[in-house]
Amino acid sequence: MTLRRLLLVLILVAGFGYFITHFEVRRTGSSGDRSSPLTITEAHAAPEYTNTELNNISVYKRVVPSVVNITAGTVTLDFFMGLVPQQDQGSGFILDKQGHILTNYHVVADARNVEVQTHDKRRYQAQVIGKDRLHDLALLQINAPNLVPAVLASSRDLQVGQQVFAIGNPFGLSGTMTVGIISAIRSVRSPEGGAPIENAIQTDAAINPGNSGGPLLNSQGEVIGINSMIAQNGAEQNAGIGFAIPIDTAKAVLSDFQKYGHARRPSLGVRTLPIGPDLAEQMGLPAQYGVLIESTIPGGAAERAGLHGGNQVAYLGNMQISVGGDLIVAIDGQEITNSQDISEIMNGHQPGDAVTVTFYRGRRKMAAHVTLGEAHDQSA
């Protein structure tokens, strides 16, 4: 029995020795297969950019020195009615070498002090030169050397589908550029609750808190709008729908600041509904285009000239409208199809100017001479 056990042990030992001398034990795990070294493939030349990428890079390098970060110091009340300092951030862009900067009214509305940081990281105290709550615009000025002014284009002939760039300081991340297109051009309500912003540029270029006041650019890097607000779906962040104030509106406001020290915008004093062929047919109107006066502002230009607002309530889908008012089809001989057309004509006038309004009252075509009033926060 003892001899058997001895032979069994000798067989086991011999088998183990044979195994470790004839087979390679490979370890696997986080270190990988030692017999297969890691290799990577690297580019052997500098990257080649597409024409689109080259233009994006060129626009950014040319414009970013003109964009500034704005910090507005305000004071709020805490639970115990104590004063608590607070800082809000936004963007702006340089207009000239004298240090004038354009931004949104809501960026600096209640600020006790305003600080501007330029692209070279230098900080300057800013003076608020003018504010226009109605159009959500503000003009600042700093005393700084070597400023790079932005180039302003026109917003008159913008097209849906046109490529645009937004540069600003979203969430305090200075010098951020996003790319998109013009999604629509429409009238939207001002973030300050004033009159609608006519010809507002809707874009899908990412706009977030902190972008307000920064430039919206065309593919040449020229300013076509001032980024102002975003459509929110329960959160203050980009949802793919942002809006910019057209630069032509800003030019008119800047002209008023220079001439009068404050914004003076002309107004017809009406609230209107745009009319197209389908709606005109449904309502039995005498023209297939125009804007229907839903109401006139009490004491406003249209009311003083004898124009009539609606006198009957109706529903357009779920929206309540007022019908029965005059249908405006032209101003000074220029065809009117929507409120944007009226806005463009107003941009060429001042309060007190007289215009000829062509309209239908029932089936009768008429004309009235209207002396333009001045737009105020309560007017539409």
156: region left, alpha or beta (phi > 0 left; psi from -120 to 50 alpha): alpha
- Which residues have a Cβ under 8 Å from the Cβ of 47 and sit 6 or more positions away? none
Check 88, 132, 136, 248 and give the catalytic one.
136
106 is annotated as an active-site residue: yes
**Rounded to the nearest 5°, which phi and psi values hold at 353?**
-70, 150
Q: Residue 222, SS3?
A: coil
d(CA 172, CA 188): 26
- Which residues have a Cβ under 8 Å from the Cβ of 364 and sit 6 or more positions away? none
Check 106, 190, 326, 343 and give the catalytic one.
106
Q: Are 317 and 338 in contact (CB under 8 A)?
A: no
Q: Residue written as tokens 């808190």? A: 209
Give the residues across from 89 on adjacent strands. 71
377 is annotated as an active-site residue: no
- Which residues have a Cβ under 8 Å from the Cβ of 44 and sit 6 or more positions away? none
d(CA 177, CA 307): 47
Check 212, 295, 339, 343 and give the catalytic one.
212
Q: Which residues form the catalytic set?
A: 106, 136, 212
